[in-house]
Amino acid sequence: MTDLTSLTLAEARKGLAAKTFTSLELTDAHLSAIEAARVLNAFVMETPEQARAMAREADGKIAKGDAGPLAGIPLGIKDLFATKGVRTTACSKILDNFVPTYESTVTSQLWRDGAVMLGKLNNDEFAMGSANETSCFGPVGNPWRREGSNTTLVPGGSSGGSASAVAALLCMGATATDTGGSIRQPAAFTATVGIKPTYGRCSRWGIVAFASSLDQAGPIARSVRDAAMLLRSMAGHDPKDTTSVDIPVPDYEAAIGKSVKGMKIGIPREYRLDGMPAEIEKLWEAGAAWLKAAGAELVEVSLPHTKYALPAYYIVAPAEASSNLARYDGVRYGLREQAKNIIELYENTRAEGFGAEVRRRVMIGTYVLSAGYYDAYYLRAQKVRTLIKKDFEDCFARGVDAILTPATPSAAFGIGEKGGADPVEMYLNDIFTVTVNMAGLPGIAVPAGKDSQGLPLGLQLIGRAFEEETLFSLGEVIEQAAGRFTPARWW
């Protein structure tokens, strides 16, 4: 039955509808794959019993002809999403054995549509990281390796577990979140498709917060079509999140295969970095050529404030995080360290519960918001953010439909290879992706080729707000041209 795991979500849907196989069979195939792939450390919690119960229920509904759009499809859930009755930790020791009594809006919509939960996926602690190395459950392995090498590489982060699990065929799709690139960068590192929708498209209710004004949920999937199917269920207005937007969710799948003829694609000159690997440059050109061949028009555009995006992001995001993480104080839930008084309780609990990267960002955030520094850092970063937003607006105002960029400045790297001495080295991974979060726009990462060592590389398409459909149409053109990539199994 293991071949069932190699289907795309769209193919599995067809097979389930035709009763070629049951959801229980499909689910069991994935549960076995998960068991066999524990070395990847993609799952931090497996829920096989719940998965089988949900699969049986889905099978019942399919039999009755009452199937939701994702009926019987087994998915993995990033550990940032609260799942009722199932441990949710954001991969932080400070949440200890926290079991929510509530279900996040996004996951509840997936269950509403019939999907099956296989378990919880590893991620960087509180989604802070670009390599999935900050998780309290340890790093995640990328199913991809350099040709002829046994070195385990990172899957990217923070949604490293999601990307690794989808690429290794452990689940048919996964939820993920993206604050500065946490969906798109791991998708690019693992040859999966990841879309960060427009800010406000998915509800943030029940997702452990990192930086509220930037966080957005989205799927990581095996194909552009699969991503479209998943996003349709995940998206939608939620009165419990006032930053979610009350506009109808389109049938994203209908955008797949739609002609891109006449679309204007911007190529931003500021994304051509000094010292960018030639392979990335070549990939970018190839992507542009494919879109051109499909009838799109290419134009060079300028996003002049791009170079300020990363520094501004590393002020705004930690500032919000420092406040969002204040609730983890050892008083009501999660870890509590012994102490003689309340101040000690805070100090001991937070020192023990938070990992080094989280502590660093909490300190940076506290610093940039403090009296005397607020104007110089936080306020200024917000101004930069407005300028970045305006860069994109100006660009779209000139008739550009989408912007094509590389997804990452490099392919996946080895565990422990980056950021050890200088955290900025790690932060630079997000150089092409943070601008999109700062502007609140949708961005998709699509696999587009391999580097000379056989590692996957991705391209990013950035769209107008709430025009994810354009990204799905264009993304599928790249997918068709580049083909799909599956790692050779070594685990």
Binding site for other proteins (CB under 8 A): 81-82, 88, 90, 95, 98, 100-102, 104, 204-209, 211-213, 239-243, 319-320, 322-323, 325-327, 329, 331-333, 342, 346, 366, 369-371, 374, 378
Q: Which is nearer to other proteins, 142 or 159 (CB)?
A: 159
Cα four-point dihedral sign 340, 345, 351, 354: positive
User: What does the DSSP 8-state code read for residue 193?
Assistant: E
Q: Which is nearer to other proteins, 293 or 379 (CB)?
A: 379
Could you confirm whether 182 is annotated as catalytic? yes
CB-CB neighbours of 387 under 10 Å: 16
Residues 6+ apart with CB under 8 A from 49: none
Give the residues across from 319 on adjacent strands: none
Question: Does residue 81 contact residue 175 with C-beta atoms inside 8 Å?
Answer: yes
Tokens of 205: 């209710």
Tokens of 456: 């996957």
User: What secondary structure does DSSP assign to 11-48, as a single string?
Assistant: HHHHHHHTTSS-HHHHHHHHHHHHHHTGGG--EEEE-H
CB of 192 vs other proteins, minimal distance in Å = 25
Q: Which of 182, 244, 322, 410 is catalytic?
A: 182
CB of 436 vs other proteins, minimal distance in Å = 17
Going by C-alpha positions, the residue among 153, 405, 426 that lies closest to residue 280 is 405
CB of 138 vs other proteins, minimal distance in Å = 21
Strands lying side by side in the sheet with 297-301: 43-46, 116-121, 74-78, 173-178, 216-221, 193-196, 443-450, 456-463, 402-406, 264-268, 297-301
Q: Which is nearer to other proteins, 240 or 272 (CB)?
A: 240
Q: Which is nearer to other proteins, 371 or 397 (CB)?
A: 371
The rounded distance, in Å, linking the Cα atoms of 432 and 425 is 14
Question: Does residue 190 contact residue 202 with C-beta atoms inside 8 Å?
Answer: no
Q: Which is nearer to other proteins, 325 or 448 (CB)?
A: 325
CB of 343 vs other proteins, minimal distance in Å = 8
Task: Name the residue with tokens 């929510």.
Answer: 100
Give the residues across from 414 on adjacent strands: 153
Detail the DSSP E strand segments found in 247-406: 264-268, 297-301, 402-406
Reduced to 3 states (helix: H, G, I; strand: E, B; else coil), residue 487 is coil
CB of 74 vs other proteins, minimal distance in Å = 23
Going by C-alpha positions, the residue among 358, 361, 353 that lies closest to residue 94 is 353
Reduced to 3 states (helix: H, G, I; strand: E, B; else coil), residue 53 is helix
The rounded distance, in Å, linking the Cα atoms of 32 and 39 is 13
CB of 118 vs other proteins, minimal distance in Å = 21
Q: Cα 353 from chain centroid?
A: 24
Question: Does residue 106 contact residue 217 with C-beta atoms inside 8 Å?
Answer: yes
CB of 488 vs other proteins, minimal distance in Å = 38
Question: Does residue 460 contact residue 402 with C-beta atoms inside 8 Å?
Answer: no
Dihedral angle over CA of 241, 247, 251, 253, nearest 10:
-60
CB of 347 vs other proteins, minimal distance in Å = 10
Q: Cα 88 from chain centroid?
A: 17
Q: Which is nearer to other proteins, 159 or 190 (CB)?
A: 159
Could you confirm whether 19 is annotated as catalytic? no
Beta strand pairing call for 402-406 and 264-268: parallel
Q: Which is nearer to other proteins, 71 or 319 (CB)?
A: 319
Q: Tell me which long-range contacts 247-251 makes (C-beta under 8 A, separation of at least 24).
A: 247/466, 250/468, 250/469
Q: Which of 108, 135, 158, 233 is catalytic?
A: 158
Q: Which is nearer to other proteins, 127 or 446 (CB)?
A: 127
Give the residues across from 173 on adjacent strands: 221
Tokens of 200: 């406000």
Q: Which is nearer to other proteins, 382 or 486 (CB)?
A: 382
Could you confirm whether 120 is annotated as catalytic? no
Q: Which of 23, 78, 162, 418 is catalytic?
A: 78
CB of 280 vs other proteins, minimal distance in Å = 33
Q: Which is nearer to other proteins, 246 or 274 (CB)?
A: 246
CB of 327 vs other proteins, minimal distance in Å = 4
- Active-site residue set: 78, 158, 182
